[in-house]
Structure 1
């Protein structure tokens, strides 16, 4: 029986395209993307329910790998779920500032940012030039969530346009949260 934690990928608003490191991890490592009903007009409660259902679909523990709005999803879900013990860790990449005055109207229902400490270990990966969140705000969110903050330099929004490819450094961070992670699956 496989007791390795499942890797649940939580893309952000508009999903992760084919060149995004999350999509590459899904193809390379058979990680599981949590599908959402509406990637363009995301509803926080609906996304939380989809995460809950994906988590409960398998008895194994899981590691959450969130990008952008997926980071806000982790914080919101963890504040409400009775099943947080099933999560052994979370990699939170490029958390967006959804409280900004110029935030897109499609994500307005996600504000305010949930600022409770997460009940599992987490690492927040921060780009110094993310167009959707200042480094200072990202560090504040990481602190509120109890996540270790790791600023990795100027990589934009840490998405498909950032040139990360398969992002081996990110995979190493993931492994540090959840040994053993089966990279041969």
Structure 2
């Protein structure tokens, strides 16, 4: 079983017309949530959307028959799933559904930590992440790729900090719950 931090950046919110700009992933320790190895960032501007999706499919073994080859760990993975399903179809690549196999989506925990409210439960509201990434398309159109990379690195850093914290705290909550 291999857990991976997983996220994408896109040119917008519509997977039929907007494309995937980056795919980022990093192996995580299954027991601590700590990152193992380096953050991989596949960049559309260095090749093409089709090439980065294909590289992601090959690197992660997500197409293997073993459902635990790639366990995505992210925040609001439904967004990534919708984009990957549509963009693999458009690019005539093997179709994938990352939510059809094991996955860990911390969005649910964010909502619960926000007293059940969806509004205000974004990763940027819970951590020191800078904004929501709404300016990524503008940065892309202006060829400000280094700013996109800095945003991605900060987002990954904040997500991983939150993830590791949850790995430490949630088992204690379970013990506390059982004692009550």
Do both proteins adopt the same fold according to a TM-score greater than 0.5, normalized to the shorter chain?
no
What is the TM-score normalised by the length of structure 1? 0.36
Structure number with larger C-alpha Rg: 2
Structure of higher RCO (CA pairs closer than 8 Å, 6+ residues apart):
1
Judging by fraction of residues, say which structure has more helix: 2
